[in-house]
Amino acid sequence: MKIRPVILIPFLWLALFFLVPLTIVVRLAFSESAQARPPYRPAFAWAEGWPVWLEKAKSLSLGNFEAMLEETLYIDALLSSAGLAATGTALVLLIAYPLAYAIARAPRDRRVLLLTLVVVPFWTSFLIRIYAWIALLKPEGLINYALKSFGLIDAPLPLFGNHLAIVIGIAYSYLPFMVLPLYATLEKLDWSLEEAARDLGATRLRAFWRVTFPQTLRGLIVGILLVFVPALGEFIIPDLLGGSDTLMIGKVMWSEFFGNRDWPMAAALAMLLLCLLAIPLVILRMLEDRRETA
């Protein structure tokens, strides 16, 4: 077979910059940290070759993973990441569904404009979008200032440096990821079905819930995954909006790496995160396969 450069060049590129780094992460996760540069003692040296690796595999350093189980910090971080990502996703859904629905029901010539309006902020810097919320949520920030000047509150509400701020940050950053797949399914719907339900005496809400909503489940699931997966590994949001004591796995990884210089621990956490992320991705893949065969 002829070797085609159009295949070979990207293949080698992807192998070097995706596969090899990932292998190194796995290798490092089983290594011990050391006071050196780089700060770890590798479990496998490249030069040793397979036979030695197999021998070593039997006496692998599972220390990082054992520490992960013993130290409640990591488990807590994982659970709280999942909880925050899930709450954030729920809030995204609450805002995104009515929005996507309204865009789908807007006059045809307005829809592209409205959709563009939703997507444009997604292009502006992620960092800046999170930063914008600092000015709003801080105790001396604009929301508290406005509430105070209207006489609605006496003391500033605790909006910043806690879980609430993180959830708002997630909802704000990932809104388009939910709106787009929802809109894609809503746009294709046959609205006469909902009208038929109305004609047959269903209330507006009931017609929506029993007829329209079930037809949008696929877009809903895709949207949930597109928001939940990146939110789970989020670093910038908890770091800038959450308090110093917020536990999210991305932030713990960052501080293990830059703060404690425990690279093997950071790698082990990365592997754990990857395994967790694989679950929703496999679900998405299965859904896609089902759609293709259907």
- Which residues in 28-67 contact another protein (CB under 8 A)? 28, 38
Question: If DSSP states are collapsed to H, E and C, what string results for the chain?
Answer: CCCCHHHHHHHHHHHHHHHHHHHHHHHHHCCEECCCCCCEECCCCHHHCHHHHHHHHCCCCCHHHHHHHHCHHHHHHHHHHHHHHHHHHHHHHHHHHHHHHHHHHCCHHHHHHHHHHHHHHHHCCHHHHHHHHHHHHCCCCHHHHHHHHCCCCCCCCCCCCCHHHHHHHHHHHHHHHHHHHHHHHHHCCCCHHHHHHHHCCCCHHHHHHHHHHHHCHHHHHHHHHHHHHHHHCCCHHHHHCCCCCCCCHHHHHHHHHHHCCCHHHHHHHHHHHHHHHHHHHHHHHHHHHHHHHC
Q: Which stretch binds another protein (CB under 8 A): 55-63, 82-90, 255-263, 286-294?
A: 255-263
Q: Of 50, 58, 123, 291, which lies in the binding site for another protein, with binding defined by CB under 8 A?
A: 123
CB closer to another protein out of 58 and 278: 278
Task: Kindly identify the residues of this chain, within the stretch 1-20, that bind another protein according to CB under 8 A.
Answer: 1, 4, 6-7, 9-11, 13-20
Is residue 156 involved in binding another protein (CB under 8 A)?
A: no
- Sketch the per residue contact string, 159 through 188, with another protein: x for CB under 8 A, - otherwise: -------------x--x---x---------
Task: Kindly identify the residues of this chain, within the stretch 219-248, that bind another protein according to CB under 8 A.
Answer: 229-230, 232-236, 239-240
Task: Kindly identify the residues of this chain, within the stretch 74-113, that bind another protein according to CB under 8 A.
Answer: 95-96, 98-99, 101-103, 105-107
CB closer to another protein out of 58 and 95: 95
